[in-house]
Amino acid sequence: MESSLHETAGSNGTGQRVPAPRAGSTPNPPPGDKPSSPTPDASPREADGAPESTDALGPLLRQEVLRITEAEASSAVTQVLLAPQRLRTICAHAMEDLLALARRDPAAGGSWRYVWDSYIAYRATLAYRVAHAIHRAEDTPLGHDVRLAVARRVSEVAKVRTGVEIHPCATIGRRLIIDHGLGTVIGETTVIGDDAYILQGVVLGARGIADNPSGRRHPRLGDRVEVGAFARILGAVTVGDDVLIGPGIIVTTDVPSHRRVRLLNQYQGTSGECNVRVFGVVPVCEGVVEVHGTGLAAIEVDLVTSTGQHRPVVVLERDDRRVRCAVNRPGTDERLRIIDTCGNETVLYNLQQLWRALDEFGFA
Of the listed ranges 21-25, 96-100, 162-166, 193-197, the one predicted with least confidence: 21-25
Q: Which residues of 66-105 are buried (b: 16+ CB within 10 A; e: fewer)?
A: bebbeebbeeebbebbbeeebbeebbebbbbbbbbbbeeb
- Report how far residue 63's alpha carbon sits from residue 86's, in angstroms, rounded to the nearest whole number: 14
Q: Domains of the chain (ranges plus CATH)?
A: 11-19+29-40+55-162 (1.10.3130), 183-261 (2.160.10.10), 264-361 (2.60.40.10)
Q: Which residues of 217-235 are buried (b: 16+ CB within 10 A; e: fewer)?
A: bbbbbbbbbbbbbbbbbbb
pTM over 0.85: no
pLDDT at site 303: 82
Helix axes 57-70, 144-162, angle to 10 degrees: 110
pLDDT at site 7: 35
Whether residue 27 is predicted with pLDDT greater than 90 in this model: the reply is: no
Contact 33, 161 (CB under 8 A): yes
Could you read off the pLDDT of 81-94 as tens digits, one per residue?
999 999 999 999 99
Q: What is the mean pLDDT of residues 24-38?
A: 42
- Report how far residue 310's alpha carbon sits from residue 304's, in angstroms, rounded to the nearest whole number: 5
pLDDT at site 315: 86
* pLDDT tier at 219, thresholds 50, 70, 90: very high
pLDDT at site 234: 94
Whether residue 51 is predicted with pLDDT greater than 60 in this model: the reply is: yes
Whether residue 5 is predicted with pLDDT greater than 50 in this model: the reply is: no
pLDDT at site 350: 56
- DSSP summary character for residue 330: P
- Report how far residue 107's alpha carbon sits from residue 195's, in angstroms, rounded to the nearest whole number: 18
Contact 137, 154 (CB under 8 A): no
Percentage of the chain modeled with pLDDT above 70: 76
Return the number of other C-beta atoms located less than 10 Å from residue 37's C-beta.
15
- DSSP summary character for residue 290: E
Whether residue 57 is predicted with pLDDT greater than 90 in this model: the reply is: yes
Could you read off the pLDDT of 310-338 as tens digits, one per residue?
778 888 888 889 999 887 765 556 778 88
